[in-house]
Amino acid sequence: MATHAHPKRTGLWDWLTTVDHKKIGILYLIAGGFFFLIGGLEALLMRIQLMYPNQEIFVGGSFNQLLTMHGTTMIFLAAMPIIFALMNAIVPLQIGARDVAFPFLNSLGFWLFFLGGLLLNLSWFLGGAPDAGWTAYLPLSGKNYSGMGVDFYVLGLQIAGIGTWIGGINFLVTIINMRAPGLTFMRLPMFTWSVFVTSALILFAFPAITVSLVLLMFDRLFGGAFFEPALGGNIVIWQHLFWVFGHPEVYILILPAFGVISEVIATFSKKRIFGYSAMVFATVLIGFLGFMVWVHHMFTVGLGPVANSLFSIATMLIAVPTGIKIFNWLFTMWGGQIRFTAANLWAVGFLPTFVIGGMTGVMLSVPPADYQFHDSYFVVAHFHYTIVGGMVFALFAGLHYWWPKMFGKILNETLGKIGFWFFFIGFHLTFFPQHFLGLMGMPRRVFTFLPNQGLELGNFISTIGAFSMTIGTLVFLYNVIVTATRGEKASNDPWDARTLEWTISSPAPEYNFAQTPLVRGLDAFWVEKMAGKKKMTPAEPLGEIHMPSPSILPFIMSLGLFIAGFGFMHHAYLIVIIGLGTTVVCMFLRSIYDDPGYHVHPDEEEVKA
């Protein structure tokens, strides 16, 4: 076996060409965090407009751009990428792998997502952002009723969507094929399990959104009539396709959050997860049922009582596996030694908040009640309780928990707790009153409300809460800066944790594991600790480690599609050919040049330590 030179790269070039899952995880975190701030700013502007009745700060079309971009950005460009950040940073480490199955694809997935998201956000400067809601219902999102913004939505999301889909496949293959010896499926950490199920959902759900975006693209750009009632088209088809994707999407978001909570609660209670096999079963069942319930977003479309009843009962069923999870988390803490670190504070704060989101979810599954809730602020409250109170809380828990493993430093605990309280209290102030606003007759997506309808108080409190959440987020950002400049250096295992990622240095070396570990049970590291050992038993002799080469091709391929996107929306087919041509040439280069990678020697010091 030939040893190839170790190509040392630094700076920007290193980040553009890296195929290392840990660095790609950081890229996802930076990009997702950036979009999270943009989406948060959009939310804050909306709340300022709605602080008092009849304000005229963002009126009509400009408010609709804000609400559309807030939803689209938060779902596709903030929530999913930050999940991908944790997936990339942690899953290979949790399964004792040296990288993901397809490092090149991993990089391609990131750059597609990032450039797709950039394309979408450039709409602000190039003729206005999309304004038909993140759901882009037809005919409002058709070419007769909305401007160029929706073209950016259609093309940006297609490009970003390919990236996500590639990522999903990559993690499925990684988790199936690259587990360390002894790490059977029923020994996988809960976070890895949830990523596995989420990846399967991505595999099946993203084709549906891609198909619907392609159909909409044909309608808008090439004179199609799939959704044009006057020409025999049907607008409800869009809603079916969108929600066949859209409902699994919410489970794509929440399942990894469940995974994070399981890890954090188990570690900080110093106990193994209660009812592990039930937890796994519940995760798989939620993923499966997630595909069976999309019509509960469409109870008011007029599909008839049979469809509404069937989908109602299917939706209620999801409460059962979700309830199992809640009780298992409670009983994981039962009898434990609970430490209230910042990470665990987020996880503990998640529990009641998510239960409220689940409760309103069951209430929404009742069609006659949903006729009142639907498209009102009650729904806005519900999905923010699940997505922010559920997923974002879990992401903060995960970030505080795994920060040492990603960056080698522990986030400041005091700042972490201050940020939590501002965000937690602000969150409930913002969204709890919205349940009542909805029932009191406030539809969602309105840029203003009239005085003397009883809606003033709730809206005012809600805006105050939004400011508190903003402060919480800023405290977190400040914490990141403080920690980076003078944070405490983290040991391998700062939390006395249970899983494989904590057996190696913080941050992990380039090759992750000098020797692939041998796994002897659930919570592999804990098993060794209980046996009185300080480290894992290796499953292979020490030797040279094969690494994939960095490559600039994923970036250029994505850039090609980015350029082609602009060409499509301006009907400039020369630019389309240049863009797609660039991508195809890169694919060709990638195919004909064999890349043998290179080898590294593990750090002797580290192996001894």
Partner 1 sequence: MSRWNLSWRLLPLLAVMMLVLTGCAQDPYLSALDPKGPVASAQLSLIMLSLYIMIGVFVVVMVIYVYVLFRFRKRPGQTGIPEQVEGNHKLEIIWTVIPLILLAVLAVPTVSLTFDLAEKHSTEEALQVKVTAHQFWWEFEYPDLEISAGQDLYIPTGQKIQFQVTAKDVMHAIWIPALGGKIDTNPGMTNNMWLQADKPGTYKGKCAELCGPSHALMDFKVIALEPAEFDKWVNNMKATATKTVPASAQAGQEVFNQSCIGCHAVDATKGVKVPDIAPNLAGFADRTVLAGFIEHNNENLAQWIKNPQSLKPGNLMPAFEGKLDEQQINDLVEYMNTLTLE
369 vs 518 by CB, closer to partner 1: 369
Q: Using the rule CB under 8 A, give the single segment among 75-83, 450-458, 559-567, 569-577 that binds partner 1.
A: 450-458
Q: Does 454 bind partner 1 (CB under 8 A)?
A: yes
CB of 525 to partner 1, least distance (A): 14
Site for partner 1 in 326-345 (CB under 8 A): 326-328, 330-331, 333-340
- DSSP letter (8 states) at residue 489: E
Among 277, 414, 485, 591, binds partner 1 (CB under 8 A): 277
- CA–CA distance from 197 to each of 188, 201, 402, 515 (Å)? 12, 6, 21, 28
The Cα–Cα gap between 301 and 367 comes to 11
- DSSP letter (8 states) at residue 297: G
126 vs 307 by CB, closer to partner 1: 307
Cβ atoms within 10 A of the Cβ of 605, count? 7
CB of 523 to partner 1, least distance (A): 9
CB of 60 to partner 1, least distance (A): 3
The Cα–Cα gap between 97 and 81 comes to 21
The Cα–Cα gap between 115 and 164 comes to 12
The Cα–Cα gap between 600 and 549 comes to 12
CB of 142 to partner 1, least distance (A): 8
Among 176, 186, 211, 457, binds partner 1 (CB under 8 A): 457
Report CA torsion sign: 205, 206, 210, 212: positive
CB of 261 to partner 1, least distance (A): 13
Site for partner 1 in 478-507 (CB under 8 A): none
Site for partner 1 in 346-365 (CB under 8 A): 348, 351-352, 355-356, 359-360, 362-363
> Six-digit token pair at 56?
């005229």
Site for partner 1 in 222-251 (CB under 8 A): 229-230, 233-236
Q: Is 526 exposed, middle or buried (0-12, 13-18, 19+ CB in 10 A)?
A: buried
The Cα–Cα gap between 463 and 479 comes to 25
> Six-digit token pair at 474?
């800023």
CB of 495 to partner 1, least distance (A): 13
CB of 373 to partner 1, least distance (A): 8
Cross-strand partners of 489: 409
The Cα–Cα gap between 521 and 413 comes to 32
Q: What are the phi and psi torsion angles at 339 (to 5°)?
A: -105, 130
Q: Does 587 bind partner 1 (CB under 8 A)?
A: no
The Cα–Cα gap between 525 and 505 comes to 14
CB of 367 to partner 1, least distance (A): 5
The Cα–Cα gap between 89 and 29 comes to 10
Site for partner 1 in 285-324 (CB under 8 A): 300-302, 304-305, 308-309, 312-313, 316-317, 319-320, 323-324
- Name the packing angle between helices 149-177 and 103-122 (round to 10°): 160
Site for partner 1 in 63-92 (CB under 8 A): 63-64, 67
11 vs 302 by CB, closer to partner 1: 302
> Six-digit token pair at 124?
């602000």
Distance of CA 48 to the CA centre of its chain: 27
283 vs 376 by CB, closer to partner 1: 376
Among 30, 122, 439, 556, binds partner 1 (CB under 8 A): 439
User: Which helix (DSSP H) or strand (DSSP E) does residue 246 occupy?
Assistant: helix 235-269
CB 311 within 8 A of CB 339: no
Site for partner 1 in 38-67 (CB under 8 A): 59-61, 63-64, 67
Rg of the chain on CA atoms, in Å: 24
171 vs 311 by CB, closer to partner 1: 311
The Cα–Cα gap between 401 and 496 comes to 11
Among 39, 116, 458, 602, binds partner 1 (CB under 8 A): 458
The Cα–Cα gap between 87 and 398 comes to 11
Q: Does 186 bind partner 1 (CB under 8 A)?
A: no
* Amino acid letter, residue 504: I
CB of 500 to partner 1, least distance (A): 18
Q: Does 520 bind partner 1 (CB under 8 A)?
A: no
Q: Using the rule CB under 8 A, give the single segment among 245-253, 386-394, 447-455, 508-516 that binds partner 1.
A: 447-455
Among 104, 165, 274, 562, binds partner 1 (CB under 8 A): 274
Cross-strand partners of 409: 489
Q: Binders of partner 1: how many residues, by CB under 8 A?
A: 97
Q: Does 467 bind partner 1 (CB under 8 A)?
A: no
279 vs 395 by CB, closer to partner 1: 279
Q: What are the phi and psi torsion angles at 503 (to 5°)?
A: -90, -10
CB of 313 to partner 1, least distance (A): 6
Q: What are the phi and psi torsion angles at 489 (to 5°)?
A: -70, 135
112 vs 455 by CB, closer to partner 1: 455
CB of 506 to partner 1, least distance (A): 23
Site for partner 1 in 113-172 (CB under 8 A): 131-133, 137-140, 145
CB of 152 to partner 1, least distance (A): 18
445 vs 590 by CB, closer to partner 1: 445
234 vs 537 by CB, closer to partner 1: 234
CB of 318 to partner 1, least distance (A): 10
Question: Coil, strand, or helix at residue 577?
Answer: helix
* Amino acid letter, residue 584: V
Among 110, 276, 403, 598, binds partner 1 (CB under 8 A): 276
